[in-house]
Chain A
């Protein structure tokens, strides 16, 4: 399958700070591709380089078959970009924003009308055309921004944290739109720091400190980085047990999720640990095997990456 985006050793430095550190990956056409990571991990910087907003310090990238260094004009015609910060004209009406971007992308009158009608239907902006953009609720604004970014039917759509500050229901609706676009054969490159959203992607990369620390489909990632069994422990006094368990040599990793603990431990040692705890005579706890969430992977990989950095 032809790739929509190919990145090789892409790097961007700001002074001494390395925002993106020699990353390489490729995205097959038609995929929903997620970039996951904390703020400052380098997700936006990567997107901005691919969209031609920022010059890379070094490395190569091909977007839609065009080189980002020499063919940025070509790239701009076939990509749509939605920035992390809302970036439409707040003082224009909804329809004026749509019309402006349609013209800028060179849509003629007829095409513009049919396209706007189609998008308003799809995105649910009908009846809101006369409203001033800045007065729309955040969820609507994000959808309008998406509409403006895809007016010209781009092949690849870059969405930089499109659901930041949006309520859960609106987020869900937004993801429905993303799936719609994907089913039309568009390639979607989306960044997020919501781990649950990453589950919606076909392929994800987890970024940390400018590097990719995990990659694959959500299921693959969990399997690859959690070949062992993950156990969940529910308790009334999580902190006490947490502190005790941390001291036990069999525990490879332990993390606290409210009243729950996630432990990484090989199955044959579970009994051993439980007996030791019961021997203390304070109470009992049960462990049950669970499927790791992306959050588990994220935390584990972060700790490992931190360790590697420390070396």
Chain B
């Protein structure tokens, strides 16, 4: 135990002496969290929209103001020709074009069905499909209003039957995508720091020949590993202590569950990511390789973790693959603890899986570390 302690001490001295590394370790998560916290959003608002109003009537103006008052669309221009629409879509100045046909007002008044042509820039499928939904909703409501007004003016005491869902959203009532994404960023930052630092620090020992000197000492491989992992566990804990208050106080992500449970689960998660770093270190010869291999593994892990893209939407094979991604379980736990405020019962199965995964990863890491020594 004393040996491991002196190892940890040595490691911390080395980290402290490397100013740039120290900066990366302490400041990078904060900076990244702030940038990602502000920039990352799936909410679609203010879609740049070009309008071609061929009718120029009171009704068409009313219809358009309904659209722009919704807040989802922003009028960039009133087009006077089709070619203007084409150009704006081509150059990306607008993502949606709305064309109000001639005789819009007249046809509506005579009770005919009127088509509004809408053109979407499909390259940004996310924005397009969200815009489509909003537009459909607004158009439908506009139609209803017209209908009710007409019925009123006819002085017939008859109302169409309208079924409206009474919506109440749990856990994230404002449907802020930031609340959905922040826990993911949280897990992602912890992973990047612990995987890359661990992998690089172990490979550095091998690269500089100091590993050989360690191996001829009476230190056991497991003591060497512990000496290497514990400092980065401590750093991860410090980073956790920095980004947790930032998420809750700065970004106002509500932490409804237990803080202790969150910290405990984060420790479990870090053990698994440190193990990943250990595993990656056995695949690399130089710190540069360690860095590249880390990214090679982390990018698919992030994409498949359910961070942005729901796992249920993935092909079956990839759904299975996500079983070996610690971030996947941690994410569910984090979302549960932050937004839902659940207790341990609700995250028990996820934490059990994370625990088993941490065990498996570290066992593999240990074995391949052993193999690399011979």
Contacts and interface: CB of A to CB of B under 8 A. Distances in A.
> For A85, A87, A90, A99, which residue has the most chain B Cβ atoms within 10 angstroms?
A87
Given A83-B209, A96-B10, A91 B218 contact: no
Contacts of B2: 103, 106
Interface stretch (B12-20, B24-32, B358-366): B12-20
A200 B208 CA distance: 30
Nearest to A75: B216
Contacts of B374: 54-55
B213 A87 contact: yes
B217 A76 contact: yes
B210 A104 contact: no
B215 interface: yes
A86 B218 contact: no
Nearest to A148: B213
B18 A92 contact: no
A89 B6 contact: no
Interface residues of B, number: 23
B207 to A, nearest CB: 10
B372 to A, nearest CB: 12
Nearest to B227: A104
Interface string A49-85: 0011111000000000000000001001101010101
A75 B68 CA distance: 81
Nearest to B18: A91
Contacts of B66: none
Contacts of B17: 91-92
A175 interface: no
Given A92-B14, A96-B10, A105 B216 contact: no
Nearest to B5: A103
A106 B6 CA distance: 10
Contacts of A90: 208
Nearest to A100: B10
B211 to A, nearest CB: 8
A101 interface: yes
Contacts of B214: 104
> For A51, A101, A103, A104, which residue has the most chain B Cβ atoms within 10 angstroms?
A104
A79 B210 CA distance: 17
A104 B214 CA distance: 9
B224 to A, nearest CB: 10
Interface in B206-233: 208-210, 212-220
Nearest to A76: B218
A88 interface: yes
B7 interface: yes
B218 A73 contact: yes
A105 B210 CA distance: 15
B3 interface: yes
Nearest to B216: A81
A104 B216 contact: no
A54 B10 CA distance: 26
A104 B7 contact: yes
Contacts of B13: 92, 96
Contacts of A104: 3, 6-7, 214, 217-219
Contact of A85 (B209, B215, B219, B220): B209
Nearest to B17: A91
Nearest to A73: B218
A87 B210 contact: yes
A53 B14 contact: no
Contacts of B6: 99-100, 103-104
Contact of A86 (B3, B10, B14, B209): B209
A166 to B, nearest CB: 17
Given A54-B374, A103-B2, A89 B216 contact: no
B218 A87 contact: no
Nearest to A82: B213
Nearest to A96: B13
Contacts of B217: 76, 101, 104-105
A87 B208 CA distance: 7
Contacts of A91: 14, 17-18
Contact of B218 (A83, A99, A106): A106
A105 B209 contact: no
A44 to B, nearest CB: 11
A9 B220 CA distance: 28
B210 A89 contact: yes
Given A86-B209, A87-B209, A87-B212, A103 B218 contact: no
B114 to A, nearest CB: 75
A87 B207 CA distance: 10
A83 B219 contact: no
A209 B212 CA distance: 24
Contact of A52 (B3, B210, B216, B220): B216
A296 to B, nearest CB: 35
A83 B213 contact: yes
Given A52-B216, A55-B374, 8 more contacts: A53-B215, A54-B374, A73-B220, A91-B18, A96-B10, A100-B7, A103-B6, A105-B217
Interface of A: 51-55, 73, 76-77, 79, 81, 83, 85-92, 96, 99-101, 103-106, 148
| 3 tightest A-B CB contacts, nearest first | A103-B6, A87-B209, A87-B213
17 contacts: A51-B216, A52-B215, A79-B216, A81-B213, A81-B216, A83-B209, A87-B209, A87-B213, A89-B10, A90-B208, A91-B17, A92-B13, A100-B7, A101-B213, A104-B214, A104-B217, A148-B213
